[in-house]
Structure 1
Amino acid sequence: MMNKLKGLVFEEKGQGMTEYGLVLGVIAVGVVALLATLRDEIMTMFNEVINNVTNRDTGGTATTSGTGA
């Protein structure tokens, strides 16, 4: 029984996957912290884009009189 426990302690099969998981977790926490910090700036940027698309000029002299001529 003790030999099995010692074998599990020194087992390296899942070590690489565990390290990748830890790195991914640290990156995810960093991204969440960054987005929380930049939240107001990101919202302002998206609102400016929405306003520019909604209120854009037509850029021409087209009329909508419906005469077809």
Structure 2
Amino acid sequence: MINSFWIEEDGQTLIEYGLLISLIALVVVGAVATLGAQVRNMWGGNANKYPDSQPN
């Protein structure tokens, strides 16, 4: 019985997709954390150029 579980590969694809999605999510979180401050500063600088503008 243990050998049959060891040989079967039914859940392998599901685990591979789960690992792939986890890796993609980790890359996205890292990119947002890295670029978030730069984008905020870029748009904040533009907002300071127009002090009469109102935020949405």
TM-score range, shorter chain: 0.5 to 0.7
TM-score normalised by length of structure 2: 0.68
Tell me the distance in 2 between the aligned counterparts of 1:46 and 1:11: 54
Count residues with an aligned counterpart: 51
2:18 to 17, 21, 36: 21
Structure 1: stretches of 5+ with no match in the other structure: 57-69
Give the RMSD, CA atoms, in angstroms.
2.3
Q: Which blocks of at least 5 consecutive residues in structure 2 are unaligned?
A: none
TM value normalised by structure 1: 0.57
Q: What displacement does 1:14 show? A: 1.1
- Per residue, is there more helix in 1 or in 2? 2
Runs of 4+ in structure 1 displaced over 4 angstroms? Answer: none
Matched, 1:11 2:8: yes
